[in-house]
Structure 1
Amino acid sequence: MLNALEVFTTVSVGLMVGVEFSVAFVMNPIFNGLPDDSAVRARAHGGRMLGAVMPFWYIGSLVLSAVWAFAGWDHPGTGLVVIAVALLLVSVIMSILLLVPINNKGKTWTPDNLPDDWKQQANRWDRFHYVRVAIIIGAFTLLVTAVA
């Protein structure tokens, strides 16, 4: 049972890392290359779509990792899982405090209602997102190492 939990958790976190990495280093650079009205629409749509899914994915990954740490407490590698849980917790807190407020504004933007500083807000979200991606990559790496 613990092996199945380890695999499911690692795959779940790995997929989340892949999506967030893609947002940071593939999708947003593509959106930034579009004309402003198209870039705004693309970011807003992405914010609505991923904003509906990612809270469950982040919290689910955190819970799965915590269950793994608890269930495997006496197994080798548990210390790595505990550190991964701490990193995932940081990513959730960071998301709630820093990224979600910007995303909640951005997902309502259209070319007709843009604030004057929309590009600065989008760039600020991007910078926070890069840090969050690094944190969840660290958590994923620790989980993979704990399995190995």
Structure 2
Amino acid sequence: MRTDMTEGGGPALFRLVRFWSRRWAAGITQDEGGDVAHILVLEAVDAARGDGRPAQIGAVAVELGLDRSNASRMIAATVAAGLATKTVSAQDARRTELDLTPAGEDRLAAARAWQEETFARMVADWPARDARRFAGYLMRLAAANTPNGDPS
């Protein structure tokens, strides 16, 4: 292990995760009367969609870090809110496909815009080169450590 080079990085990362884990989604839903869980599901459905294909419940559950049953309940609430669709696959009637509605796409875009604005505020007093480099490192870390390798 390379603790000499990375000492302090782990606790700093998890301090940020704890601090921002509830705030990021609440920031976008606050003005719209939305639910933080809906944002989490929208992010997970988007990450689980691959090559233009709809997402599957199992893949969304993996993205959420939940078992299939809990993920299904969150998905059902997001569908009921009109932010996602849940349909039977035309290719295999045993499969359920998930996708985002136009309202879900809009909510996801708003969440990501809020995330970009928040990151920009966090590094606003950094030199631009450092901010770009840090953003690149964060994307690299996310790509290497998420189920689909998708940093979003």
TM-score w.r.t. length of structure 2: 0.32
Name the structure where helix makes up a greater proportion of residues: 1
Name the structure where strand makes up a greater proportion of residues: 2
Higher normalized contact order (CA 8 Å, seq sep 6+, divided by chain length):
1
TM-score w.r.t. length of structure 1: 0.32
